[in-house]
Structure 1
Amino acid sequence: MDALDAPAYTLRQLSFLVCAADEGTVAGAAARLHVSSSAVSDALSELERALGAQLTVRRRARGLSLTSTGVEVVARARALLAQSRELESSLRGAPGELVGPITIGCYPTLAPTILPPLLQGFGAAHPRVELDILEATHDRLEGRLESGQVDVAFIYDTLIPGEPQRAKLFELPAHVVVAADDPLATGGPVRLEDLVERDLILLDAPPSSEHTLSLFSARGLTPRVRHRVQSYEAVRTLVGRGLGYGILVQRPANEASYEGYRVVMQEITPAVRPVGIDVIWSASREPTQRTRALIDYARSLPWPQPR
């Protein structure tokens, strides 16, 4: 290529812009990149001069924001940077070998079910693929697939962010969790009507909280929430101590809480609609060969089935 045909900007400048956009401040980008704030600021100014457009608005007290042109440039910069990384990765492996990073997003309560077989099996088959994990609720995944920050994610189908490509892995209905010495532990399926006067330990993380409350509202009921916690195991631990009941979707093989108290899972009657667990990926970016291989592998696994 003739030197005159080369772009006036550099990948380094683009990477600084993307980092600054993600962090929201020049100082934050500098800390993440391990460079000085002046180096980031100079790179942004040089990029703006090269493109002949203002990309950012930088205010000392308010941080950094993107102009409308800056938003478009950041989106294109992410794609260019991803392509450059892909070029580098493709040259590091033997023909047919998968090499390079995959960032996997996973809803926190799904992580104990999804990640162990996925990381062990796929990792053993493709040891030169770097699997990075981001545990995040649906709201935190918003925009990350389209931006390229996350390559693939495993989430509940009730609140999928944006309009990604998707495939269902399995589905499970919610169930009631009670302490082993609770009278409901031996009585078979439980009616929601029998729970409204009891204390609910609510898993208060979207979409789990919305889903649980919707089960009651669909029957004209309002549960009595005693505690709200954001951890799946915190629900099981409080239930194990007899502080209330829980409503959960995932079904661990271990019947004991962290503290060793036994808990019992009971079905809900009448039956409630199952919750789907999906694998999702960007609709606007073609997945890399290694990401596609991970999706195919995930779809081939023998996931849990309703009891």
Structure 2
Amino acid sequence: MLYISLRQYEYVCAIGRHGSLSAAAQHLNVSQPALSTALTRVEEHIGHPLFSRRRGAAMALTPQGRRFIEQAEALLNDAARIETSETPTPGMTQLRLGCFTDLAPFLLAPALHQLRVAFPNLAISYVAASFQGLLNGMIAGQIDISITYDLTMDAGFARAKLFDSRPKALMSPDYPLASTNGVTLADVATHPLILSTEGLSAQHILGLFRRKGLRPTVAHRAASLEIQRSLAAHGEGIGISYASPPSPVSYDNRHLIGIPITDPEAAESVVLARHGTGPADPVIDQVERVLTDRLKQD
């Protein structure tokens, strides 16, 4: 808990600069009793006088008072810089990177590699989480910047686009739609779906169908991408995923294919996101530039 307010620091520094309560009060345009009260409270809290008071003489700083005012003025200068954002606080030493779970196998390791090359003195930690986990982490200040889809974020988040991702329909090679080069949402809607258990992801995909007046049947909710791929490879339905490994076999060695869903509105942006829309820490700005340059896809 802070027991001395910035206003009280300001009052004490003004007394030190002007040498008297009356001159400081005139400079700050406040009453002399207000300054006297602030000074008394500060001295009572720190346990020693900051000024020597002699009748008829200017208020002289004690050695402790001189050190106190030097530190207080530095604090006030830092507070002013934070408030105006003209000169951001220097030198982040740690970066906390977030990545959406389904994107992590594709983008997390390349991102970490690029950042460690570009910022060898920056301690970098990461977390792979759900949409809600990333949002909560950024709002709470536990995640500095996240790689995620441009979903569920309001105007309180700043975003920089990396690339557009198009969903694929995952199915076994002998599935009825497997011979085509592209499918529409209407094509897929007549078959059982295999969606993720990640609530916002599934809601987004179902929302694409609803906006076209389609009502598909969800046959399975898979807890991971590989479970979804395995179910699709075994003919349990069509999996829909924005993240699709290039491997033509599932973990259990069954063949499957991924066919692009061609509806233009199905494309979704992958972005770098951070909480807050004001000027970022200069290190975060540099991190954003590095990741945008290295992770962008044509």
Structure-2-length-normalised TM-score: 0.64
Q: Does 1:150 align with 2:143?
A: yes
In the alignment, the residues of structure 1 paired with residue 248 and residue 279 of structure 2 have an alpha-carbon distance, to the nearest angstrom, of 42
Q: Deviations over 1:229-267 (max 9, x none)?
A: 232222112112221111111242222222222221112
**CA distance in structure 2 between the partners assigned to 1:166 and 1:192 by the alignment:** 28
Structure 1: segments with no counterpart, 5+ residues:
1-6, 10-49, 51-75, 80-85, 91-98
Are 2:103 and 1:110 equivalent residues in the alignment?
A: yes
* 1:208 equivalent in alignment to 2:206: no
In structure 2, how many angstroms separate the alpha carbons of the residues matched to 1:255 and 1:304?
22
Q: Which residue of structure 2 aligns with residue 184 of structure 1?
A: 177
User: Is the CA contact 2:162–2:295 (under 8 Å) kept in the aligned structure 1?
Assistant: no
1:246 aligns to 2:217 (yes or no): no
Q: 1:194 to 1:294 in 2, by over 3 A?
A: same
Letter in 1 for 2:267: P
Aligned counterparts of 1:191 and 1:102: Cα–Cα separation in 2: 41
Aligned to 2:28: none
After the TM superposition, which of the residue ranges 210-219 and 142-151 deviates more from structure 2?
142-151
Over the aligned positions, Cα root-mean-square deviation in angstroms equals: 2.8
- Cα contact 1:110–1:155 (8 A) shared by 2: yes
Matches within 5 A, 1:22-171: 90=91, 100-160=93-153, 163-171=156-164
Cα distance in 1 for partners of 2:275, 2:292 equals: 17
Aligned equivalents of 1:257, 1:236: Cα separation in 2: 6
Q: 2: CA distance between counterparts of 1:182 and 1:153?
A: 37
How far apart are the structure 1 equivalents of 2:185 and 2:219? 16
In percent, how many aligned pairs have the same letter? Answer: 26
Distance 2:154 2:230 in 1: 30
Does structure 2 retain, via aligned residues, the 8 Å contact 1:146–1:285?
Answer: no
Question: C-alpha distance in 1, partners of 2:122/2:230?
Answer: 36
Gaps of 5+ in 2: 5-44, 46-78, 83-88
Partner Cα separation in structure 2 for residue 180 and residue 200 of structure 1: 16
* Distance in structure 1 (CA, Å) of the matches to 2:274 and 2:157: 6
Q: TM-score if structure 1 supplies the norm length?
A: 0.63
- The letter for the 1-side match of 2:284 is T
Query: Is the 2:100–2:134 contact (alpha carbons within 8 Å) kept by the matching residues of 1?
Result: no
Match of 1:289 among 262, 282, 289: 282
Secondary structure of the residue aligned to 1:294 is helix
- 1:54-111 CA-to-partner distances (Å, cap 9, x unmatched) read xxxxxxxxxxxxxxxxxxxxxx9xx9xxxxxx87xx5xxxxxxxx7211111111111
Mapped to 1, the partners of 2:103 and 2:137 lie a distance apart of 18
CA distance in 2 between counterparts of 1:222 and 1:304 reads: 33
Does structure 1 residue 172 correspond to structure 2 residue 154?
no
1:274 paired to 2:274:
no
**Radius of gyration: which is bigger?**
2
Amino acid paired to 1:223: P
Matched, 1:226 2:222: no
Seen in structure 2, the aligned counterparts of structure 1 residues 157 and 181 have a Cα distance that, compared at 3 Å, is same
